[in-house]
Amino acid sequence: NAGVTQTPKFRVLKTGQSMTLLCAQDMNHEYMYWYRQDPGMGLRLIHYSVGEGTTAKGEVPDGYNVSRLKKQNFLLGLESAAPSQTSVYFCASSRDYEQYFGPGTRLTVT
C-alpha cells in the first residue's frame, strides 16, 4: 500500500515550457487535491476533484489545469511555466476529512 505518490520528485523548467505532474493514490479515495507551498508559507489549494471525471478550482487556479480521468490519478498541468510557479507541489487524497499527502514535487522555473 503505497498511499499517495507523486511523479517527478524534482523538475527544472525554463519559462514558457510545459509539464504535467502526476499524482496517484491506491486507497480508493474519492477526493483528490493539488496544493502549492512557497517557502515559509502554508499550503494553498490549486484545484481539487470530488470524483472521477470532475474537477473544481481552488484558491489559486490561474496558470494550472487538471484532469481526473481515472479515480486513482490526478494530473496537474502547467501549459506555459512562469518563474512565479516555482514552488513545492503537494498532492493529497481523502475519503472524508482526513487528507493524505504525497511527498511533494519541487519545481523550479528559470
Binding site for another protein (CB under 8 A): 4, 31, 33, 35, 41-45, 48, 50, 56, 58-59, 90, 92, 94, 96-104
Spatial contact of 102 and 36, defined as CB atoms under 8 Å apart: no
Identify which of residues 38 and 79 has a Cβ nearer to another protein in the complex: 38
The distance of closest approach from Cβ of residue 100 to another protein in the complex, given in angstroms and rounded to an integer, is: 8
Identify which of residues 85 and 105 has a Cβ nearer to another protein in the complex: 105
- In whole angstroms, give the CA distance from residue 102 to residue 37: 13
Q: Which residue has the cell 472521477?
A: 52
Nearest to 20 by CA among 2, 6, 35: 6
The distance of closest approach from Cβ of residue 55 to another protein in the complex, given in angstroms and rounded to an integer, is: 11
What cell does 6 get? 507523486
The distance of closest approach from Cβ of residue 96 to another protein in the complex, given in angstroms and rounded to an integer, is: 6
